[in-house]
Structure 1
């Protein structure tokens, strides 16, 4: 019997005028381990007159993980960080009790054709750390553990797994792995003994076969038991395996806010509406609080 508990197809979602493929949350599965939100951005081509411009907006109760395959994003936040995100690097911002950031095309690329492709991920904080002070960490791609076995490349983006540890300072037991088949042949991957908790497998390119079933790109497979994680990876395929120990409390998600207590979200809404959040230096725009009900 297959170890796949649920198959989640990418669903189109709009962030301003930017279209993404949403994977989590899903009506039948709100989180995988502490991962509560995953968007697949692009690939999208911008003309010389088009740019990514996501104005300052707030977060609470989570860490954001930005991981690009192609393109560049200028990150600015209310902690004073201003840093360009490039492909293969990890941008990890912990909101805690509240942080504000913007995401834009870097100035040097604003008048040239450009392409953007990557993942935007939210990881919920443990309840005891939801109101922690915000902080920021950036790891260039050469700082992440990576290794090759039998023409298969592995990279540990965050957390601990397979005897490796990423430098990204996570706050709960989790992992996120990139696995790429470099060969022209299918490869059998068996990594379950190095995983724990809940596990998801996102197919970015190529396909995955588990027993007699073949799964294709833009599908997220949620396994029943992470320690049984074994699959065949098609030639030149690229997948992401992520998960970890589930947080014991339910998490509420409203707009950019994540919390185990709705009172924290209500306070964040009021604070943003009254512009009581810290400001991003040298930014005057901001995204207004949405008016939808919850």
Structure 2
């Protein structure tokens, strides 16, 4: 057993969006991306009053990437130009492949806007390999009870397995490239170990609480960047905690990102804007 060495710990930058509390650990001035993990926004925790405006993410386009949205508190109503529509509640997860292009909106349900309540939501962007940038858009939204889970350390560690496999439990979603992604809920004192091939990049973000990872104490709203030396993660919760853990082989491909589009060349970005303006991302009926 060789512990994976920690390269750097990255704090989140505060980036509020209207009245939505938002922190982002990636990209920042200290970290561009962890290939193929591109971007993370952490919204909340906050409590909305009754008769609120809810989430501010009205219709907007995407191309060349995927989103995984974690709903810890509150809800999200998703609608897109491919005809998908759902309301996912606390504990649920959304997976959307933008591929060749779509328009979508992510707003709060009418019930949440009327009644208010707690809200904490994270959105992670995954890159798509060059060969799959222009796949057809897809969307799957799953409620908490529809997501496979496993327990470790006598129930003190509960894992939602989203992509890939962990101890014989297969993830809820079928991805466009090999990736493992989990939401991990740890009671204070709960611990786990996981072997991850040294060639794979690790995405490790502490959503709540404080954990000790490979001998280093890290509080919430921090992202741990690992080197590619060693293969073991050893994690113990110093407080009740929530962690997002992902790992995958890097693509090692050029990344050109501009606004909502993530492609491999500047020309492809130009084409994305042209296609969007020419109505090739589908029609929006709000």
Question: How many residue pairs get matched?
Answer: 280
Which of 236, 242, 246 aligns to 1:242? It is: 246
Q: Which runs of 5+ in 1 are unaligned?
A: 284-294
Contact 1:139/1:168, CA 8 A, preserved across alignment: no
1:1-294 map, 5 Å: 3-51=5-53, 52-150=55-153, 151-182=156-187, 184=188, 186-193=189-196, 197-210=200-213, 213-225=216-228, 227-273=231-277, 275-281=279-285, 283=286
| Distance change in 2, residues 1:2/1:53 (3 Å) | closer
| Distance change in 2, residues 1:97/1:122 (3 Å) | same
Distance 2:199 2:284 in 1: 38
TM-score, structure 2 as length reference: 0.89
Give, in angstroms, the shift of residue 17 of structure 1: 4.8
Contact 2:18/2:56, CA 8 A, preserved across alignment: no
Contact 1:189/1:233, CA 8 A, preserved across alignment: no
Give, in angstroms, the shift of residue 23 of structure 1: 1.7
Distance 1:109 1:21 in 2: 22
- Give the root-mean-square deviation of aligned CA atoms: 2.3
Distance 2:142 2:116 in 1: 27
SS at match of 2:104: strand
- Higher mean displacement: 43-52 or 255-264: 43-52
Contact 1:67/1:91, CA 8 A, preserved across alignment: yes
| Distance change in 2, residues 1:23/1:14 (3 Å) | same
Distance 1:139 1:116 in 2: 18
- Higher mean displacement: 210-219 or 75-84: 210-219
Give, in angstroms, the shift of residue 110 of structure 1: 2.4
Contact 2:209/2:220, CA 8 A, preserved across alignment: yes
Deviations 1:24-64 (A, max 9, x none): 22344332242111111111222223222321100000111
- Higher mean displacement: 25-34 or 108-117: 25-34
Give, in angstroms, the shift of residue 66 of structure 1: 1.0
SS at match of 2:24: strand
SS at match of 1:222: strand
Give, in angstroms, the shift of residue 193 of structure 1: 4.6
Distance 2:141 2:191 in 1: 33
Contact 1:161/1:195, CA 8 A, preserved across alignment: no
